[in-house]
Structure 1
Amino acid sequence: MEEIVTKLIVIGGGPGGYVTAIRASQLGVPTILVEETQPGGTCLNIGCIPSKALIHVAEAYHQARSREAQSPFGLSVSGAQLDFGKSIAWKDGIVARLTSGVTGLLKKYKAALLIGRAELIDGKTVVVQSATGAKRIRAEHVVIATGSRPAALPNLPFGDKVISSTEALSLNGVPASLAIVGAGYIGLELGTALAKLGASVTVVEATDKILPTWDAELTRPVAARLEALGIRVLTGARALGLSTKDGSLEVLENGAVHATALSVDRILVAVGRRPRTEGFGLDRLDLDMDGSFIRVDDRCMTSMRDVWAIGDVTGEPMLAHRAMAQGEMVAELIAGRRRRFDPAAIPAVCFTDPEIVSAGLSPADAKAAGHEVVVATFPFVANGRAMTQDDDAGFVRVVANALDERVLGIQAVGREVSELSATFGLALEMGARLQDIAATIHTHPTRGEALQEAALRALGHALHL
């Protein structure tokens, strides 16, 4: 077996892993990145990027179809058609370009990429089964960045008509009918896209509302759009499994005595994600765990010296940008710099229709934390840019401490509000107060003006409301 010695080995080539490898190499740390398939991980290959591509295709097709009747501004379109095969090929082309780009960056900064299956032997040794044979790698530092996988349900195992988000993003065609188990962001993003592409969609959610982790004020416009799209939503409903009689999905609705049968072509199980902690020898290490996640401190160090963990495997929020920030920090720590992971906010986005973005504390969270709060919203119905886009649903909301006017959280729901997430995060990271935002000149006409107007309203003098 070939023996290799290096300073750093990173297990997992997703956003967290490849950023760790790139940054460490930039700082002169000899690094090997091990990835089982191809760099980019779930996000780039079978998650964030392909799903957003599918969402774009679906929206473009939906807009064209909706213009078969003349629009308010005089546009009419007839005979809109979609070659779904070409759509998937376009999506795959984007993924390939980005994957190639990551590979090129690793090469540029001289981070070694090893494609193969990694197995931990101890806290310093990893054996990799690659196409060119087994390799034993000894390293001073090990970074575990193995990510997560779709969570399965015991009564609805993946296979045949029951699919995960991975299969949903590589369908050969749009199913005529689809049931989605779980009304979280994954289920609603994909369900909305497939409904716009022509599928008849039913959502089954066990709790009493869609997007259970988001507050009701933010999810209300999304619920309205789901209804407008003809998506059937069953809340307080439990998926029992497949009927042995005809393979339909049996659902027990809230308060019902007998199950309802949903006869559908596909069943997408979207009940969350689970950390990848099995299959690569993690049990050989004496690591403290936090449930199913690896416990880390504010430097992403585990309970074993020089063994680090980042990204989804360390817990919520399971977001690619969190993993990337952690990876950059760990690389700098290994290179001898002083860092710790202490972000003021990690913005989260739900790419539904309309989109939702949240950074910092919600009004309820702020009150629960003991703050006396002032909350103000500014609706897009009073925003010029939203009007000119013929989509004025939603608003921007600011949550601030009533005593010193320090901004505690910013949320928004509306078209393309994901693009405001960096602004929200920056305001919180810089410790902005309401007056800082209100006094900042915002470009007109943009949706970003709604942030300034919300701050002005919180101060008692909104200009356009």
Structure 2
Amino acid sequence: MDFDVIVIGAGPGGYVTAIRAAQLGMKTAIVEREALGGVCLNWGCIPTKALLKSGEVYEQLDHLAEYGITVEKRGFDFTKVIARSRKVASQLNAGVAFLMKKHKIEVIDGAAKLEKGQGAPKVVVALKAGGSRTLSAKHVILATGARARTIPAVGLEPDGDRVWTYREAMTPKTAPKTMIVVGSGAIGIEFASFYRALGSEVTVIEALPRILPVEDEEVSKAAQKAFEKRGLKFRVGASVKKLTRTKAGVAVELEADGKSATLEADVAIVAVGISGNVEDLGLEALGVKIDRGHVVTDRHGATGVAGLYAIGDVTGPPWLAHKASHEGVHCIERIAGLPSSNLTAPIPGCTYSNPQIASVGLTEAQAKDQGLEVKVGRFPFKVNGKAIASGETEGFVKTVFDGKTGALVGAHMIGAEVTEMIQGFALAITLEATEAELHATVYPHPTMSEAMHEASLDAYGKVLHI
């Protein structure tokens, strides 16, 4: 065998898996057809946050007078905003390359395809530099990720000019004056928030009855209200019948409540979901089961084909970088014969819009559907000392407890920097904390995290500052 482990895909799931394999003494290679760090680092999680930060800073200029600060002139250089985002991605890409070298992981640039072998499948790589290379390993781990879903039948397909996916939306030459975003999940809302911050007129279309449909309903409603306050427009419960390219931009035909309408804009962003990268890998010939565009595995990443595993976005939702990394570590440690890491921990989700949204565990509706005796607590930031001092009073914290056991089963937040706070609730649920532990925890003052404490107290009628 050439290697103990070959990882296909160098995104946050793949490269973390490779690092852990190397730490465990395995001879490891990683195959990547584009760039180290994958979509997340190069075209997703990281560069979008750089864009959103630029938008946030620019938008804050409107409120400087509230802090006793004045500026003579405001403006932005869109080219430099995009350039900063690309620089951040490049810096982290170089960081991943350093980690591969540090852990003596062989990086193979090219596109991989699997063929039947003795034991695990062979990996045939069409090298970027030309030619091919056939590799063998005891274990092969697919971490090929996913890409934006498109619907060509109704025109929801990128053309690099007027119709974008997240990739095209990160590197345009100019900011459009008007924009339509199809889909109100995290990706759609983040781009809507960014472009609105820079002054674009943005309309978001959502087929379901509310935006951010995976979030708790209270959070979704509060988010829409907050976004509308910033000037975003929404059409919910509206299905796209057709997108047409026009001389001026795009025209989108909608149907809602039995009525038709047409919206026009300079560009449209398609954010209607994710499809796993399962094509051209030779999976069908090996007998790997594919369901709705994703590889089917057991809870440890095994595909059912000897020596072949899959982790991360290619295996299905939630399509999150931290989920992929966690699954990869679990998979490789199990291969090494170590005790399995925890795969029952809830996976937090974050939307880095303005305001931010973060959640972990069950929504109130999901808890009730499971038959739990639900206790709900809420606490608004408008009465939190640090939030008031910071001028960040929008939003709230919501907690969901199982009334019989006292276990925290879900937490939902909207407001400034809640994406940095949600890990506290994620840790609590992972450690199976009850209201007793959360009530007894000492939270520093003054912090916005005190709202987490108050929301936990509120569920049991003990809230202090309302």
**Shared fold by TM > 0.5?**
yes
Which one-letter code corresponds to 1:76 in the other structure? Answer: T
- Report the secondary structure of 2:132's partner residue: strand
> Does residue 99 of the first structure (1) align with residue 74 of the second (2)?
no
> Does residue 89 of the first structure (1) align with residue 83 of the second (2)?
yes
- Report the secondary structure of 1:427's partner residue: helix
Q: Deviations over 1:31-63 (max 9, x none)?
A: 110001111011100001011111000010111
Aligned to 2:261: 259
The answer to whether the 8 A contact 1:206-1:237 is kept is yes
Tell me the percent identity: 39
Which one-letter code corresponds to 1:305 in the other structure? Answer: A
Where in structure 1 are there 5+ consecutive unaligned residues?
none
Aligned to 1:136: 134
* Counterpart selection for 2:49 from 48, 52, 55: 52
The answer to whether the 8 A contact 1:298-1:340 is kept is no
When structure 1 is superposed on structure 2, of 436-445 and 293-302 the one drifting more is 293-302
Aligned to 2:282: 281
- Report the secondary structure of 1:259's partner residue: strand
Q: Deviations over 1:52-106 (max 9, x none)?
A: 1110000101111444xx32x3223231111111121111111111111111011
Map 1:185-200; keep pairs closer than 5 Å. Answer: 185-200=186-201
Distance change >3 Å, CA 459–CA 255, structure 1 → 2: closer
Aligned to 1:181: 182
Aligned to 1:158: 158
When structure 1 is superposed on structure 2, of 364-373 and 96-105 the one drifting more is 364-373
> Does residue 24 of the first structure (1) align with residue 18 of the second (2)?
no
Q: Deviations over 1:109-143 (max 9, x none)?
A: 11111111111112420111111531000111110
When structure 1 is superposed on structure 2, of 213-222 and 311-320 the one drifting more is 213-222
Q: Distance in 2 between matches of 1:426 and 1:340?
A: 15
The CA deviation at 1:232 is 1.6
Number of corresponding residues: 458
- Report the secondary structure of 2:56's partner residue: helix
- Report the secondary structure of 1:20's partner residue: helix
Aligned to 2:384: 383
Aligned to 1:250: 252
- Report the secondary structure of 1:214's partner residue: coil
Aligned to 1:339: 340
Q: Distance in 2 between matches of 1:82 and 1:201?
A: 19
Q: Distance in 2 between matches of 1:46 and 1:461?
A: 45
Distance change >3 Å, CA 447–CA 111, structure 1 → 2: same
Given the two structures, how large is their TM-score scaled by the length of structure 1?
A: 0.95
The CA deviation at 1:250 is 2.8
Where in structure 2 are there 5+ consecutive unaligned residues?
none
Q: Distance in 1 between matches of 2:167 and 2:246?
A: 28
When structure 1 is superposed on structure 2, of 211-220 and 173-182 the one drifting more is 211-220
> Does residue 7 of the first structure (1) align with residue 37 of the second (2)?
no
Map 1:72-83; keep pairs closer than 5 Å. Answer: 73-83=67-77
The answer to whether the 8 A contact 1:222-1:352 is kept is no
- Report the secondary structure of 1:438's partner residue: helix
Q: Distance in 1 between matches of 2:223 and 2:451?
A: 19
Q: Distance in 2 between matches of 1:445 and 1:51?
A: 30
Q: Distance in 2 between matches of 1:388 and 1:377?
A: 21
The CA deviation at 1:218 is 0.6
Q: Distance in 1 between matches of 2:399 and 2:285?
A: 47
